[in-house]
Chain A
Amino acid sequence: MSESVPDHPRPLGEARSLGEAGTAERGFVQLLTPEGERVHDSDYDVELTDAEYRGFFRDLVLVRRIDAEATALQRQGQLGLWASLLGQEAAQIGSGRALRAQDMAFPTYREHGVAWCRGVDPLHALRMFRGVDLGAADPHAHNFAMYAIVIGAQCLHATGYAMGIQKDGQVGGDDGQAVIAYLGDGATSQGDVNEAFVWAAAFTAPVVFFCQNNQYAISAPTDRQTRVPLYQRAAGFGFPGIRVDGNDVLATYAVTRQALDDARHGQGPSFIEAFTYRMGAHTTSDDPTRYRIAAELEEWRLRDPIERLRSFLVRQQIADQGFFDEIDAEADALAAQVRAGCLALPEPTPESLFDNVYAGEHGALQEQRETFLAYQSEFLASDAETERSTVPGREGSRR
């Protein structure tokens, strides 16, 4: 498959070697070929138990199923919008499972798979896309920040948070904390992302920038963002950049785990480019057939993250048909649960419009709330009046 990945020269100034020749030839770190063959990398190898391999497979299948259900819900008018992760499951599960409980994640609006790894209710994202809230969450409940919509803004928040970890003295050992900031290939053009790189480098902040290069920023291909491979940019900021096969859950896991460990031990930031592909639309609002060709899609379909792990599990006799059937049944049940949960999400109350704009008092807004409530109560009184006047036997209660 190496010929289908753009051939890039060996990165300059990279702090960590790309390791053995095999990796360099492929252009990225890979531990599982698209055919499901296990390959080895001297820098980034992992030893997993059979149960752990099966766990990765389960995660991949379940998040793909959540995503499919959400896409269907959007098509049926139940969500205003959906940002699908289809094709990016390995990047998200691999990196998400590499996080330790004490690590903090700053996602974009597409990190449903990472949310899954953090133990966040799948309905969390649906609430935002359904419009019943704006993505409300306590970031500390699962060490998972709220979804960020503005491209790249969260990279600065992640860096600041990482500086806070440093100030708290929580770096420098195995029990240290680290931060992961998710971003896309388009985000690398943003000022905020570049400022985050400057800050993280200048303060040696324990933050890993995890870029899912899914090849398109809505419709604009990566070469509209950069003339050099994204991972090579890190060297210019003074920290390591590494490219990993983003459709290989083992490789994304291994590389992210290493980067997080480096961060938690006080070695500062790093940048991971997970080379992957968004199989669907950017969001349910766009039409990818306008900007990419079917052949490209087909080529990436052959690198599907789930199929390659399935081949490996079968080949190694780690899982049998019974296991796959069991996971499929679990996915069906989860999808049904997500659907029912979505449809049952309560509507926000009208007066909640004014809640939590400020932590303290704000007289001017308080006045508006009171005016709003008085205005609403006129309708409620009038509705009640109408109801009374139409109840049989109650006619005449209205003059």
Chain B
Amino acid sequence: MTSMSLAKALNAGLRNTLDTDSKTLIMGEDVGRLGGVFRVTDGLQKDFGEHRVIDTPLAESGIIGTAIGLAMRGYRPICEIQFDGFVYPAYDQIVSQLAKIHYRSQGQVKLPVVIRIPYGGGIGAVEHHSESPEAYFVHTAGLKVVTCSNPADGYTMIQQAVASDDPVIFFEPKRRYWEKGEVPDDVPAADWYPLHAARVVRPGTDATLVGYGPMVRTLLESAEAATEDGRDLEVIDLRTLSPLDLEAVYASVERTGRLIVVHEAPGTLGMGAEIAARVTERCFYSLEAPVLRVTGYDTPYPPSRLEDDYLPDLDRVLDAVDRSFGF
């Protein structure tokens, strides 16, 4: 166990993948000499060379499109998209090509490509630097979508994503990059928590809070605060968005009877909508209240002076908890 930030944990995980598999490549804008704008790839080019850690031209579609060709040639590219809002120029290559080629080829072409995307708000950034585009990718068959919320998961999940034979969109909560935690760098990979499994990160009995990525810490803080009202809230970190692992959520709702789903992305047709529908289908008779959502609004991500109003926070989460108990 070593204590380190999420950014460092991801760096350590990436370093392991480069070390253990000579076919892995890191490619993206400024990932080499600069080490990425968030320094997640810091020092990797120096240690593994320009042929393994590739500073690409500034063109997102090109990053993904050439990664597809490299994967066809037997490589395992790990692409970095510098910021969430810049993934859209690559959208066609991701959803029309990367996601579909395995299906089109009837399994004869595997594309083990990982796309790392720092996402979400809360760092006072300018436009296009704070978005949560996960639903677009979850909606696309052929892609797997995961997101980590802490350094331990960052370290293991990035290595599991690279080992996957499917394309994986790997969302990194940028406002949590600098938060530290214990990283199990001495645990063998066989004992790591599975990549495509949600996890109960705080057991509780009265209501269930579900979130992922940057929201998990907010949910834990909310649950802690709720104890002052005598409420014991369970918190689930989804971790995997496609496949969406709801077994832990179903089990939790059957015990607590209440569910609040929280995410930064706009609410309409977001992850919360899917989870609410699925939980209602499965756990209808266990629910004491409708499934509630706390999400970003259906607006573009606002100027940073307004992001505290936009982003779900402890108060909005606890307000939803109150509403749930009001039914």
Contacts and interface: CB of A to CB of B under 8 A. Distances in A.
A136 B100 CA distance: 11
Given A164-B70, A192-B93, A365-B243, A133 B106 contact: yes
Contacts of B105: 136-139, 146, 356
Contacts of B102: 356-359
B303 interface: no
Interface stretch (A18-26, A89-97, A149-157, A337-345): A149-157
A363 B245 contact: yes
Contacts of A360: 144, 164-166
Nearest to B142: A357
A358 B196 CA distance: 13
Contacts of B101: 146
B258 to A, nearest CB: 24
B67 A160 contact: yes
Given A150-B92, A364-B244, A137 B68 contact: no
A195 B106 contact: no
Nearest to A360: B166
Interface in B92-128: 92-93, 96-97, 100-110, 112
Contacts of B92: 150, 153, 192
A362 interface: yes
Interface stretch (B58-66, B150-158, B184-192, B207-215): B58-66
A274 B85 CA distance: 39
Contact of B108 (A138, A157, A159): A138
Contact of B97 (A153, A361, A362, A365): A153
B65 A159 contact: yes
B86 interface: no
B89 interface: yes
Interface string B158-178: 000000111000000000000
Nearest to B52: A167
A163 B54 CA distance: 11
Interface string A147-184: 00010010111111111110110000000000000000
Contacts of A135: 104
A128 to B, nearest CB: 9
Interface stretch (A31-39, A196-204, A385-393): A196-204
B277 to A, nearest CB: 13
A196 B244 CA distance: 35
Contacts of B144: 358, 360, 362
A52 interface: no
Interface in B244-260: 244-245
A146 B102 CA distance: 11
B68 A157 contact: yes
B243 A157 contact: no
A236 interface: no
A358 B75 CA distance: 18
Contact of B62 (A158, A162, A199): A199
Contacts of A363: 196, 243, 245
28 contacts: A139-B109, A146-B101, A146-B109, A150-B92, A150-B97, A153-B92, A156-B61, A156-B66, A157-B65, A157-B72, A157-B97, A160-B73, A161-B69, A163-B69, A164-B70, A164-B73, A167-B70, A192-B92, A195-B59, A196-B62, A356-B103, A357-B141, A359-B112, A359-B166, A362-B144, A362-B196, A362-B243, A364-B243
Most chain A Cβ neighbours within 10 Å, of B25, B70, B142, B245: B70
Nearest to B60: A195
Contact of A168 (B71, B73, B107, B112): B73
Closest 3 CB pairs of A and B: A160-B69, A156-B65, A164-B73
Given A163-B69, A363-B243, A198 B106 contact: no
B74 interface: yes
A160 B104 contact: no
Interface residues of A, number: 42
- The SS class assigned to the A binding surface is helix
Interface string A354-393: 0111111111110000000000000000000000000000
Contacts of A156: 61-62, 64-66, 68-69, 93
A126 interface: no
B106 A356 contact: yes
B203 interface: no
Contact of A365 (B62, B70, B100, B141): B141
Interface in A195-237: 195-196, 198-199, 202
B69 A358 contact: no
Contacts of A297: none
A202 B112 CA distance: 24
A131 interface: no
B255 to A, nearest CB: 21
A191 B243 contact: no
A359 B107 contact: yes
Nearest to A164: B73
Given A138-B109, A153-B65, A161 B243 contact: no
Nearest to A348: B106
Contact of A153 (B96, B164, B245): B96
A199 B62 CA distance: 7
A276 B236 CA distance: 61
